[in-house]
Amino acid sequence: MDLLQSAWIFVRQGDGDLTRISPFQIGESAWHDLHAPRPDFRGALYQFLIGLLQTAYAPQDSRAWRERWANPPSAAELEAAFAPYRDAFVLEGDGPAFMQDLQLPADANQLPVLNLLIDAGSDSNQFFNKPADHGLCASCFTLALLTLQLNAPSGGRGTRTSLRGGGPLTTLLVPAGERVTLWQRLWLNVLPVDALGYPEVKNRGDVLPWLQPTRTSDAAGVGDTTPETVHPLQAYWSMPRRIRLDDSTTGHGDCTLCGAGDVRLIRHYRTRYGGTNYTGAWVHPLTPYSLDAKGEKPPLSIKGQRGGIAYRHWLGLTLGNEDKQPEAAQVVRHFTRNIKRPAVRLWCFGYDTDNMKARCWYDSTLPVHALEDDDLQKSFAHSVKQLLDVASDTAKLLHQQVKAAWFKRPGDTGSEPAIAQSFWQRSEAEFYGLLEQLSGCDLESPKALAPLYRHWLLRTRSLALELFDEWAMAAPIEDLNLERVVKARSGLGKELNSAKAMKALWKTVNSQLKERA
């Protein structure tokens, strides 16, 4: 299958109908969104098309970016742009095959094709179950292979994780509103050449690693692979696993995943340990990172995590924290600092993995506020940080005092994450409403900020006490100690006034509204 010319990608039209298109057709205005049989496949498919545009059709600067935003390319224009890469995007053949090892040795293991699925063997995962029978159509095999290479978790000795580590978080910009096109969804996440700052590509194999022998990391291999040893664009096309489609066991029937009927089925693939070991200062433009303040340690990609992505992560994922823990993805930073329009949201997705097992798939959408003036953006980020500090301290104090109400020796007990999580969930809508008000107020005026700060302080306090009452009385009746409950609630009330984050905001409130905490 020719992955550039063949119509293998499902898209949803404005009326909801599904149809298949080729990558040449992604600029047409009729397409609204991508569709895939699994959410992780859909995320990988977005990255495939964004990577393709970034590699073969990147604008030179922001002016060219805006021109293509307003005037999407025709199928003929994209076909011409992708032409130099046509031979690299075939799924099968004796030579290079998409994201597959060029020279896999004869002693490679044969595995069922469903082992490509990241959640395969994860008994605790509630979303994806491995069917007893197996067989994937060419489209689903491509998406399974792509998803694994982009997100590969730990797989045992010599089995390499993805360039971003196991279960990386991906953050994509999405246009706000209902009447948006697939082209707009993709183009928002393509960076101009001058913003990306990469050197000129001299060897296609340094970008698309399957075009040349794999940089193996076993005893006979080349060792580690850094951005300096290949090309930084390989971040979009990283290939940590040595895999090759096995055509000796193909059959005919219905695809296990998408249900396509009477199609050629791929049942097995071959694999071997010792694939490409990505180390060093790799930074994927679509992923947020924690950066070492001294610049001595390599960037550490943000991963999917228990509890999902919520407003407590908002500042780092959209604007970046002051200490760069985390720093927003490069594509997000470029938009908020240089593009700013249209109005967008941030789509965050990724696996929460525990070594080789996928515990959960997380998928969230957050608002983005890109202020026109850079100084105002910094003031906005500072104010948001203060609101988040209050929320963080409140969640922590609530957790501590509920445990104090439950246990005689709370320090000897483990964490109860559901307590803090209940606060974050119940205060989320309030936070985003306040965020909207904050983005439109005079950020240099304490008088304008004071009412917003007061509202947040009183609301978080009220919610914490409300949740304390719910949790404290949820203890088994035989363990309920009312004296401990009363003492813990009183302690919570006092601490919600005296904590450092709260005192900082009350100082502003009292200076303007003359109100005691």
- The residues spanned by each domain of the chain are 9-278, 391-517
Per-residue pLDDT of the chain (517 residues), as tens digits, is: 999 999 999 999 989 999 999 999 999 999 999 999 999 999 999 999 999 999 999 999 999 999 999 999 999 999 999 999 999 999 999 999 999 999 999 889 999 999 999 998 655 444 455 555 689 999 999 999 999 999 999 888 889 999 999 999 999 999 998 899 999 999 999 999 999 999 999 999 999 999 999 999 998 899 999 999 999 999 999 999 999 999 999 999 999 999 999 999 999 999 999 999 999 999 999 999 999 988 889 999 999 877 789 999 999 999 998 888 899 999 999 999 999 999 999 999 999 998 888 999 999 999 999 998 999 999 999 999 999 999 999 999 999 999 999 999 998 889 999 999 999 999 999 999 999 999 999 999 999 999 999 999 999 999 999 999 999 998 877 778 999 999 999 999 999 999 999 999 999 999 999 755 4
What does the alpha-carbon distance between residue 116 and residue 343 come to, in Å, rounded to a whole number?
A: 37
pLDDT at position 123 is 53
The residues that bridge with 173 in the sheet, in sequence order, are: 346
With b meaning 16 or more CB within 10 Å and e meaning fewer, what string describes 86-104?
eebbbbeeeebbbbbbbeb
What does the alpha-carbon distance between residue 223 and residue 82 come to, in Å, rounded to a whole number?
A: 32
Q: Omega of the bond prior to 39 within 30 degrees of 0, cis?
A: no
Largest CA distance in the chain: 80
User: What does pTM read for this prediction?
Assistant: 0.95
- DSSP SS3 for 86: helix
Strands 242-246 and 268-272: antiparallel
pLDDT at position 133 is 62
Could you identify the residue written with the tokens 């296609």? 204
Q: What is residue 136's DSSP assignment? A: B
Tell me how crowded residue 351 is: count the other CB atoms within 10 A of its CB: 26
**CA dihedral sign of residues 323, 328, 334, 340:** negative
Q: Which of 311, 499, 513, 270 is nearest to 397 (CA)?
A: 499
CA angle 139-145-151, nearest 5°?
Answer: 130
Locate 98 and state its tokens: 């998409």
Could you identify the residue written with the tokens 């996928």? 358
Strands 344-354 and 170-175: antiparallel
Nearest 5°: phi and psi at 141?
-60, -45
What does the alpha-carbon distance between residue 416 and residue 44 come to, in Å, rounded to a whole number?
A: 34
What does the alpha-carbon distance between residue 369 and residue 359 come to, in Å, rounded to a whole number?
A: 32
The residues that bridge with 345 in the sheet, in sequence order, are: 174, 367
